[in-house]
Structures are given as C-alpha cells and as structure tokens.
Amino acid sequence: MDPPLKKLKTQEPIIKTIDTYINKMRESKENLHAVLGDDFTKPIPLIKVYAGHVKNPKDLSRIILTLNEKVPLKELSHLKRVRKREVILCPIDCLNGVSIQQYLEVNVQNLYDVFEYFREIEVPMYAPKVKKQCNMLAWSYNFHPNMYYEKLVSDDFFSVNEMNIHKKYMEIAFVCAKWYIQEHNRYITDLLDMNITLVIDPLVKSNSVVAISCNNENHPIQHSAMVAIDNVAKTQKGGVWNVSDNTVYNLKGIDEKLHQHLTEIYPEENFGARNYMSKDEASDCDSSDGPYLCTGYYIYMIKEPCVMCSMALVHARAKRIFYTFPNELCGALCSKVKLQSVPSLNHRFEVFTGFL
C-alpha cells in the first residue's frame, strides 16, 4: 500500500472538521465577547458597617463634617456617607470589641447624643465597574460610567467591519492548521491536540501578518504561543529556535512554504513585520510603535493558551488575545484563571472569544 495515500486518508476527517469550523465562523452573526475579570461580572462583595439614624435632619451637615474629620472612611470613599437620615459611622471591624456608643464617646464625643438609634447594614466594598452592577447595590455611592468599560460588556463591542477582520485572521489560523497537518503529516484526531498562533500588527495600514506558529509536540516548552513570540523576535534580529535562512528579516516570522501557500489563498493580505528599529532608533517614536517583541500586536489562537504561554504574552507586551476554543485542562485566560485581570501584573492585555 502506498504510504502517502494512507496518510492522506487518515487526515481527511480532521481536515473536514476544520472546514466545518471555518464555514460556521463565516456564517456566525454573533459578536465576540470580552473575557473580563470577576470585578466586572460578579456581584460586588459587601462589608458590614454601623449606621446611625439622626434625630434632627438639620444636624446632618455638622455631623458629616465632624465624621469626615474624626472618622474618615478611607477604604469606603466610593460611598455617600449619608442617605436620608442615616449616616455611615464606621466599619464594624473597627470597633475592636467595644460597642458603637463607646466608640463614638472616644472618637467623636460631641456626636454621641445626635442619633436616635444605630443598626448594622451591608454596603458595597468597592465601587461598581459598570452600570449592570449598580442595580445590585442598596446604598448610595459615587459612580461615573466608563464608556469604554460599558462598551466592553455590551454585545456589540466590534463593528461589522471589525468582526469581519477578526474572523478573517482566525480563519487564517484554521487554514494554517490544515497546512501543518498536511505538510508535516501531523496525525491528530482532535483539533485541540494542536494549536496555531497568528500574530498581527494592527498599526500597519490594512494590518499585516507578522508571525505564524504551530506547537512542537516533541518539545516540552515549544507551545504555539512560545514559538510565535520567538518568531516575532526573528523579525527583530533575535530568536533562538530554528532560525530561518530567509534573508528578508521582515518575513522571518513565517515559514517560507506557508507564506507562499497563504499568499495564493489570500492575495490581498499583507505579510511581514515593520522595519525593525533598535531602542535608540525608536526613542523618539510613540511607545506603541516600540521595538519590543509583540508591543501593540494582536494574537489569534485556535486554543486558549496555558499559564506559561499567557505569561509569555504578558512579557511580550501583546495588546489583545483572541481565541476560539477553551482549554479546559490548563487555560489561563478563562478556564482555570483570568491572568489578564491580575492587578499586580505590570502589563495586561484584552481577551476576546466567541468565534463559534
């Protein structure tokens, strides 16, 4: 039996599956959705405080001035201190075992007799991020909508034209998966057994494909995103893995045969990186045009990246990550953790999914 024919027959089911995904993606009318941190989506946690009911409403101004001076609510500054005739006095955990009457006697003696009674209430621990969270809160608070955040949580963040662009690049990622399977005789029964990463420079007119990669199943850390970052480095006169003999630095991030294959399918598409500039050469340029790896780039991946790859994309300064399938085992952008929402990181990117 002819081995190549056997291999081709073995690959047919997964190729058909990929074609099905591409057609579904083209036909989908759904917008992508942002994968946001819990502080955007979950109910705001509450904290218990003591509130005092004022005897005489005419005393409210004096009470508020005194409390703000003697017992400021530093960690609850997002709250309005008064609502009708009730005034927030302090968080319950500030009392250290004493009663609220004793606390007032020590801290604000001249306010001890202005309240009819005290009660425990629950108030939001921090201010809402978006309007959707406002309906969950019972106490008054200071809130100024961030229109970009409101757009992020909406169902129409991207315009029709933008959606067509994003779907095109994810489609190219699927086309690349077919090419790697056929060109390198990759035997897989499930598309999630491999991953493709596409790196796009959105700052070039009409965008440009800078780098493309597939995971190396024979290497422990050469995941698709890791290889993609190294391929980007090749366009900047760096890179350490399988350095290409291609003398055109701008195209070193893409396999030459794959580049030829894609230009036949997508003749209108731009390929290649911008001319590399050293830090000294780029010192007078906008930071978004900087020379450091994936600064300002969009990343398109078939499968959600793991923790290692996600952290590598953080360090590479990627701007946006797009993926199609969740990685239930070790996905670090939604499935297991949302790395993009960790406040201690010195760089964070936006994440979008929902292609299928």
Mark which of 127, 147, 167 sits at the end of a domain: 147
**Distances, alpha carbon 64 to alpha carbons 58, 94, 124, 171, in Å:** 11, 18, 20, 60
Q: What gap in Å lies between CA 331 and CA 324, rounded to an integer? A: 12
Q: In which residue are the tokens 């994936």 written?
A: 294
Based on the fold, state whether residues 261 and 346 are members of the same structural domain: yes
CA 2 to chain centre: 48
Mark which of 147, 164, 194 sits at the end of a domain: 147
Q: Which pLDDT score, from 0 to 100, does residue 6 have?
A: 45
Of residues 11 and 268, more confidently modeled: 268
Cα end-to-end span (Å), the chain: 39
What's the mean pLDDT when you consider all of the chain? 89
Per-residue pLDDT of 99-110, as tens digits, reads 998 898 888 888
pLDDT band at residue 178 using 50, 70 and 90 as cut-offs: very high
| Arithmetic mean of pLDDT, 303-317 | 97
Q: Which pLDDT score, from 0 to 100, does residue 8 have?
A: 45
Based on the fold, state whether residues 194 and 229 are members of the same structural domain: yes
Cut 0.85: pTM above it: yes
Based on the fold, state whether residues 255 and 325 are members of the same structural domain: yes
Based on the fold, state whether residues 322 and 223 are members of the same structural domain: yes
Residue 174: count of CB within 10 angstroms of its CB: 22
Contacts of 288 by beta carbon, 8 Å cutoff, 6+ apart: 203, 295, 296
Q: Which pLDDT score, from 0 to 100, does residue 43 have?
A: 85
pLDDT band at residue 1 using 50, 70 and 90 as cut-offs: very low
Per-residue pLDDT of 207-245, as tens digits, reads 999 999 999 988 999 999 999 999 999 999 888 887 666
Helix axes 3-27, 160-183, angle to 10 degrees: 170
Based on the fold, state whether residues 143 and 160 are members of the same structural domain: no
Residues 31 and 197: beta-carbon distance below 8 Å:
no
Per-residue pLDDT of 39-70, as tens digits, reads 898 888 899 999 999 999 999 999 999 999 99
Domains identified in the chain, total number: 2
The CATH number assigned to the domain holding 246 equals 3.40.140.10
Based on the fold, state whether residues 112 and 15 are members of the same structural domain: no
Q: Which pLDDT score, from 0 to 100, does residue 2 have?
A: 43
The closest of 82, 149, 161, 158 to 114, measured between CA atoms, is 82
Q: In which residue are the tokens 């955007």 written?
A: 40
The CATH number assigned to the domain holding 85 equals 3.30.70.790
Q: Which domain holds residue 51?
A: 40-147
Q: Which pLDDT score, from 0 to 100, does residue 10 have?
A: 67
